[in-house]
Amino acid sequence: MREIWVGNHRSICAEKKKKNHVEQEETDSRETTDRFAEGEKVGLGTTDLFAQRRRRTTSSRKKPIRTEKPNRKKKMDEVEQGYLYWLLVAALYHLPPQPRDNFYDMSVFLTTFASSVLRLLVFLFIYDRLAYYFKLEAPKWNLGNIFKHSAGPSRITESPISYDTHVSWPLFIGLNIYVHYYQKRESNTSSDQDCRKPYFLDMVPWYSGTSADLYKTVFDLLVSVNIFLCRFDLRIMQAVTSQVQDGAREQNRGARDQHNLLYDFSKKNELWFDFMADTGDGGNSAYTVTRLLAERAIRCNGTNGTKLTLKRGDLLLIGGDLAYPNPSKHTYERRFLRPFEYALQLPNNHKWDHGHVGPQCFVIPGNHDWFDGLQTFTKYICEKKWLGGWYMPQKTSYFALKLPQRWWVFGLDLALDGDIDTYQFQFFSKLAREMIGKNDAVIVMTHQPDWLVDWYESGTDGERDNLSELICNILKERCKLRIAGDIHHYMRHSMVPEPNDLVYAQHLLVNGCGGAFLHPTHVFGGFKESHGVSYNSGPSYPDKETSRRLGFRNIWKFRKENSQFDFVGGIMYYMLVFSMIPQCELDHVFEVDSKLGFWRTCFRTLWNAFIYMLEHSYVSLGAAMLLVVVAMAFIPSKVSWKKRVAIGILHVSAHLSAALILMLVLELGVGVLVHHKLLGTSGYHSLYRWYESQEKSRHFDLSNGTRAGIKQWSSDLYSTYIKNLMFAFDVPELMAVTRINICKNGMASLSRLDTIFYYGSVFLYFWLLSTPAVSYVFGIYLYICVNWLDLHYDEAFSSLRIADYKAFTRFHIESNGDLHVYTLAVDKIPLDWSLDRQWEKENEDKNKLSYNRDFPSQWEASDPDKDPLRTVRIIDEFVIQRSNTSWLGRNSPPRESLFTKLYSLLHHITET
């Protein structure tokens, strides 16, 4: 429950503030040493000394800590850089000299270094477990001073560290680095900065190969579409429940309207209300929009340069897709509820809801909210009362709002099939016939902009019988505006006046910039007509040139934004070349003298490998065919089969060529090392055999007694440990020796374990080579499709995870009935937030409701110049006149179609 979460969060922050609001935090190394010395003089134990320190802290005068604003451009401070330099210098200092056996010395050094790292991991595990029990009681000791006064330095002074102790140096360096980072992390976690920084989730990684949420999203989608939506529709249950409740009210109160579906706000003379959609993605982008929505008034310049004051909406309309990638308790509470609660807090008595005069909120579900059959939406929207400081009175997933000056809002639930169900059609058509006058104006709100989606996917109007009948034949010219989200950009189209009988919405508006990743606008630049009515293109945000420029980022930013895609991409490339490894006919490459001959030989080798895959391979050929099928299915269904086959084959050919080239590079690399005798090929464990022969040298100087004692007490485990450790870390030798055995004796000469070790070691190196290539090739594919072919607008921009370019739309119904529409946008989203001091002062007055405060939002941008209240601007502004319908091409009252008449007759017979 979000109320409990907010209460717990505030109580935790208050406790941390009480502990950390001390006069100064000057517990540096000198003060720590002095206190230990003082405790030793007076005979105090460690526990008494800590108790005395806590008494001093408690008795001191409390001051709030002023946290410094971090510089996000500087990734590491000087101390961190010093540790890294220390590690680098120590590693270089302990490198062995350059004797004849350079390779073996280097391998031994790397092996012992890796051994130290393994021991370090064991130490870290034990250290973490011990720190868990002592971190609440013991203070943060300065390990530098403790080590300075210990026996370690004196021991080092008596016998300076010689070269043969390079095994212990990496462990010592690693411990210091870990202690530094661990102590810094613990201090940051327990400091007051946690309560003075918001906790926001990052944008959803849509191309993550390791995300369980994405796999759950695919599974929920398949189940919802193929099982539940075809057999059980929650909208029908809502309608039945509403009818039962309304029947009881009619018997008891004589009410005529449906109280769970219709809400009346028409008593006001004028009204402000807001619209946003697609909000539950990144926390920074979502909070940027909610901070603007919660502000009592936004002052900015209009499109003509005039100063405007736009009041906060009395109503907030949200157009679906509340949390990504799937609806769950975790995503709803952290990605959807949290930004709203930060922007406008719950009232102190949030269970009180009667006579609420503050802002209210109405929500329709989107396709992502339907993935679990609308269960999470029902729990957090229909069964709850508050969205932050916005009151939510709705009980179903669709509703109707009666606004001042004869304006109406229809909030429709299209579910996953893109159409309203029969009960919705029945309710809204009855409302349009019985309560909405001929000169009234209706705003139809849906999640999906079907006019754009149908044009993009098929070029024609989709089969949405109930929705089209409601708008075209029942509402007709009374439908002044259609608003939707789903596509994460802003676009507006206005009707072209024509002398015909075709009527559709006067204005079509898409605004899905509520917090989700950005979608392009240039892909939809060709939209001109819907339901036979022509439209002119209005402002779009971002503009089409900016949209194309952002699409170009796929080439060089895909891997940076989707690093987890490496997991799938590396495996895919390895399977493509699995059957062609190893390449045993590469010796002739080293016999070529000219560069041209070298490239010809390489090309011939690649071609032979490709022919081998087609004629003899099973694994690689199967992987290639599967990749062709996936690539063709990945292309949008609106593309013809011939083009899909062509694009899919070209796409797979690029990946296959890159994989073959990388395979050749890896094989050539191993061949060059073997050719120049830089890799041992005498057999497995050659490194250990050389190590045994050099044990008595100055590098491994152990006395015979010491060596005999080690063997006696360890039952020869020591030598076995060193032997297996060297074998495990000497992967190039394993590849070289096994490759030679395969080329001479065939695969049958290898045991099953040797085969696994060989292909596993090849995978490690090939995976490192292939991961940048697969991301680069796929990024180029997305760029070509979205910028040249107008395809993959969703896939190409979800990969970029652009959090900028966020917007919402604010409406104002004036006393004369005109509707003013303003769309406000922020180009650059702040990434660093700090506690608003003005909000903190107002929050001390618990009796003042959050929506009545001058500073209702808890966090402000750390850089004042980047705060959304300063960077917000109006990108579109227009007026819709409620009474002016002469230019629509027909002034006659709405006439009922044959379908409507038949439906009314059947409905009358059913009621009778």
Each residue's pLDDT tens digit, 512-551: 999 999 999 999 999 999 988 999 999 999 999 999 999 9
pLDDT higher at 305 or 876: 876
Q: How far apart are CA 819 and CA 197, in angstroms?
A: 39
pLDDT higher at 35 or 333: 333
To which residue do tokens 């050749």 refer? Answer: 664
State the pLDDT confidence band at 846, using cuts at 50, 70 and 90. confident
What is the percentage of the chain residues whose pLDDT exceeds 70?
64
Are 330 and 890 a contacting pair, CB within 8 Å? no
What pLDDT, in 10s, does the model give residues 787-804? 999 999 999 999 999 999
pLDDT for position 593: 78
State the pLDDT confidence band at 90, using cuts at 50, 70 and 90. very low
Cβ-in-10-Å burial (0-12, 13-18, 19+) of 688 comes to buried
pLDDT higher at 706 or 561: 561
Work out the average pLDDT over 233-251.
54
Describe the chain by its helix, strand, coil percentages, rounded to 5. Answer: 55, 10, 35
Work out the average pLDDT over 377-387.
93
What CA dihedral angle connects 230, 234, 238 and 240, to 10 degrees? 40
State the pLDDT confidence band at 753, using cuts at 50, 70 and 90. confident
pLDDT for position 715: 57
What pLDDT, in 10s, does the model give residues 120-146? 566 656 666 565 554 444 344 444 443
Work out the average pLDDT over 555-570.
90
307-311 and 315-318 as β-strands: parallel, antiparallel, unpaired? unpaired
User: Which of 364-373, 527-536, 566-575, 867-876 ranks highest by mean pLDDT?
Assistant: 867-876
Single out the residue of 269, 270, 318, 268 nearest to residue 293, CA to CA. Answer: 318
Single out the residue of 782, 387, 728 nearest to residue 551, CA to CA. Answer: 782
Are 628 and 619 a contacting pair, CB within 8 Å? no
pLDDT for position 51: 43
Give the distance between the most distant pair of CA atoms in the chain. 111
State the pLDDT confidence band at 156, using cuts at 50, 70 and 90. very low
pLDDT for position 66: 38
Cβ-in-10-Å burial (0-12, 13-18, 19+) of 869 comes to middle
pLDDT for position 233: 62
pLDDT for position 441: 95
Please determine, for residue 777, whether its predicted confidence score (pLDDT) is greater than 90. yes
Considering the four listed CATH numbers 3.40.50.720, 3.30.465.10, 3.60.21.10, 3.60.150.10, the one that applies to the domain covering 232-553+810-911 is: 3.60.21.10
Cβ-in-10-Å burial (0-12, 13-18, 19+) of 153 comes to exposed
- HSE-CB for 590 with a 13 A CA cutoff: 14
What is the percentage of the chain residues whose pLDDT exceeds 90?
45
Which value, in Å, is the radius of gyration of the alpha carbons in the chain? 35
Work out the average pLDDT over 750-765.
88
pLDDT for position 109: 54
pLDDT higher at 387 or 741: 387
pLDDT higher at 15 or 598: 598
Mean residue pLDDT across the chain: 76
* 527 backbone φψ class: left, alpha, beta (φ>0; ψ -120 to 50): beta
pLDDT for position 735: 83
Angle at alpha carbon of residue 448, lines to 443 and 453, rounded to 5°:
115
Please determine, for residue 822, whether its predicted confidence score (pLDDT) is greater than 50. yes
* 558 backbone φψ class: left, alpha, beta (φ>0; ψ -120 to 50): alpha
State the pLDDT confidence band at 186, using cuts at 50, 70 and 90. very low
What pLDDT, in 10s, does the model give residues 305-341? 889 999 999 999 999 999 998 898 999 999 999 999 9
Are 269 and 404 a contacting pair, CB within 8 Å? yes
Please determine, for residue 166, whether its predicted confidence score (pLDDT) is greater than 60. no
Angle formed by the axes of helices 619-634 and 641-675, to 10°?
Answer: 140
- HSE-CB for 90 with a 13 A CA cutoff: 21
CB atoms within 10 A of CB 704: 8
Angle formed by the axes of helices 168-190 and 78-93, to 10°?
Answer: 170
Helix (H) or strand (E) holding 442: strand 441-445
Q: How far apart are CA 555 and CA 553, in angstroms?
A: 5
> Lowest-pLDDT range, 35-39, 632-636, 657-661?
35-39
What CA dihedral angle connects 294, 297, 301 and 304, to 10 degrees? 100
Strand ranges across the sheet with 390-391 = 386-387, 390-391, 360-363, 315-318, 271-276, 806-813, 819-826, 873-880
Please determine, for residue 347, whether its predicted confidence score (pLDDT) is greater than 70. yes
Sorted by sequence, the CB contacts under 8 Å of residue 640 that are 6+ apart come out as none
List C-alpha distances in Å: 556 to 392, 519, 561, 793.
44, 18, 10, 18
State the pLDDT confidence band at 739, using cuts at 50, 70 and 90. confident
Single out the residue of 769, 771, 770, 800 nearest to residue 783, CA to CA. Answer: 800
State the pLDDT confidence band at 41, using cuts at 50, 70 and 90. very low
What CA dihedral angle connects 824, 827, 830 and 836, to 10 degrees? -30
pLDDT for position 878: 95
Long-range contacts at 630-639 (CB < 8 A, ≥ 24 apart) = 634/795, 635/791, 635/792, 636/457, 636/791, 636/792, 637/457, 638/456, 638/457, 638/458, 638/459, 639/791
Q: How far apart are CA 912 and CA 903, in angstroms?
A: 14
Please determine, for residue 696, whether its predicted confidence score (pLDDT) is greater than 70. no
308 forms beta bridges with 300
Please determine, for residue 254, whether its predicted confidence score (pLDDT) is greater than 50. no
Work out the average pLDDT over 61-85.
43
Are 829 and 803 a contacting pair, CB within 8 Å? yes
Work out the average pLDDT over 249-253.
42
Domain locations in the chain? 232-553+810-911, 555-797
